[in-house]
């Protein structure tokens, strides 16, 4: 938790997006746009924000709409392929699966980006994040269907490419640049 | 039967099929983490398809409520698999003969042998 400062709460104005989202959430739950419902929603949202103050995020949340849209489409694709792959694998190898726990470097140093990346990896085919080492920036990813070193390397690459997409969508600009330069180094190494 | 009806019945049926696949995997896999795989992924997709199938039959405002269900499912399923998976790992609920490589164990073993410092910072995660 290097970026949050528990002693300092989010300033009032910064809480506005959260209040708006809670009102929208409330209206979706009740599926009504009654003026009474809206007022009640605002009251509940304010109450929630006051009762459960969130720690301040020192790194602002960035959103690149195009990259986020690409991430969302990719998420659907991941879900479908992971379900199909698991179906195939269940049929053939479920009694004696080959699993591994793989160490994958985390590409970001921002808490919310790491959280989204961990979620994405956990929705991808045959993998989920078992342990997060925040300090050394390592994911420990549980992987099914790795009977050869090649498949192990593939699982690692897959987790990294997913993270790349998350970083492109949500991470601050300097991390994006760091990612690009890392890519370049890798290209040169090849 | 309109095209909408056909589309929504395809969604409902395939969604239900994916849920069955998840249940089948639950029965077949040997230990907690691999069963978790089977339980979370096909089931998430199955639920999304069922929701889509139902949403096609509803008015727009009503269908938006279902979008909320889908969102919460996508956000919470990975969190659940991480927590349950980690608990399973720590209590040794992974069938050892299925494990090919365990880099977490290698790391923990290295820490036990080396500094006690690193091991203790690992514990509160």
Write down the mean pLDDT value for chain B.
Answer: 81
Q: Which range, of A168-172, B38-42, B43-47, B120-124, averages the lowest pLDDT?
A: B120-124
- Compute the distance between CA of residue B16 and CA of residue B62 in angstroms, rounded to an integer: 21
Domain membership of residue B121 (yes or no) is no
In chain A, which among 75-104 make CB contacts under 8 A with chain B?
75, 79-80, 82-83, 86-87, 90, 94-103
With contact defined as beta carbons under 8 Å apart, do B7 and B19 qualify? no
Closest partner CB to A86 (pick from B42, B82, B86): B42
Higher per-residue confidence, B115 vs A68 = A68
Q: Which range, of A169-173, B26-30, B82-86, B100-104, averages the lowest pLDDT?
A: B100-104
Residues A90, B38: C-beta atoms closer than 8 Å: yes
Number of compact structural domains in chain B: 1
- Can you tell me the ipTM of this complex? 0.74
Closest partner CB to B34 (pick from A25, A99, A122): A99
Domain membership of residue B105 (yes or no) is no
Map residue A9 onto helix, strand or coil: strand
Assign residue A171 a region (left: φ > 0; alpha: ψ between -120 and 50; beta: otherwise): beta
What is the span of the domain harbouring residue B15? Answer: 3-98
The most confident of the ranges B14-18, B38-42, B108-112 is: B14-18
* Residues of chain B neighbouring A146 (CB-CB closer than 8 A): 100-101
- Which residue is associated with the tokens 């919460």? B72
With contact defined as beta carbons under 8 Å apart, do B79 and A119 qualify? yes
Domain membership of residue B64 (yes or no) is yes
Q: Which pLDDT belongs to residue B125?
A: 44
- Which residue is associated with the tokens 């809206």? A38
Domain membership of residue B78 (yes or no) is yes
Closest partner CB to B62 (pick from A31, A80, A97): A31
Q: Quick one: CA dihedral A21, A26, A32, A34, positive or negative?
A: negative
Higher per-residue confidence, A108 vs B112 = A108
Nearest-by-CA chain A residue for B41: A83
Closest CA to B34 of A101, A76, A148, A133: A101
Domain membership of residue B124 (yes or no) is no
Residues A86, B107: C-beta atoms closer than 8 Å: no
For B32-83, write each residue's pLDDT tens digit: 888 888 878 888 889 999 999 999 888 887 788 888 888 888 888 888 888 8
Q: How far is CA B35 from the centre of its chain?
A: 9
């Amino acid at each position: 938790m290097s970026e949050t400062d528990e002693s300092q709460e989010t300033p009032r104005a910064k809480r506005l997006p959260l209040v708006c989202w809670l009102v929208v959430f409330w209206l979706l739950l009740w599926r009504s746009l009654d003026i009474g419902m809206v007022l009640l929603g605002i009251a509940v949202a304010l109450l929630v924000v006051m009762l459960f103050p969130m720690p301040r995020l020192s790194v602002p949340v960035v959103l690149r709409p195009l990259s986020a849209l690409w991430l969302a489409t990719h998420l659907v694709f991941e879900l479908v392929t992971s379900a199909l792959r698991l179906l195939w694998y269940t049929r053939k190898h479920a009694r004696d699966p080959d699993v591994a726990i793989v160490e994958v470097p985390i590409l970001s140093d921002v808490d919310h980006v790491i959280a989204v990346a961990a979620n994405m990896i956990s929705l991808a085919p045959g993998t989920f994040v078992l342990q997060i080492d925040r300090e050394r920036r390592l994911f420990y990813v549980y992987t099914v269907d790795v009977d050869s070193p090649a498949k192990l390397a593939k699982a690692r690459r897959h987790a990294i490419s997913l993270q790349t997409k998350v970083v492109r969508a949500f991470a601050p600009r300097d991390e994006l640049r760091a990612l690009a330069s890392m890519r370049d180094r890798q290209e040169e190494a090849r | 039967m309109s095209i909408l009806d056909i589309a929504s019945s395809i969604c409902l049926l395939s969604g239900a099929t994916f849920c069955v696949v998840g249940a089948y995997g639950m029965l077949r896999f040997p230990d907690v983490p691999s069963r978790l795989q089977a339980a979370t992924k096909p089931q998430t997709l199955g639920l999304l398809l069922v929701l889509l199938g139902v949403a096609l039959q509803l008015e727009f405002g009503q269908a938006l409520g279902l979008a909320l269900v889908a969102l919460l499912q996508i956000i919470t399923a990975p969190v659940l698999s991480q927590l349950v998976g980690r608990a399973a790992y720590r209590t040794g609920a992974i069938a050892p003969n299925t494990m090919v490589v365990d880099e977490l164990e290698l790391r923990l073993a290295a820490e036990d042998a080396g500094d006690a410092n690193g091991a203790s910072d690992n514990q509160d995660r």
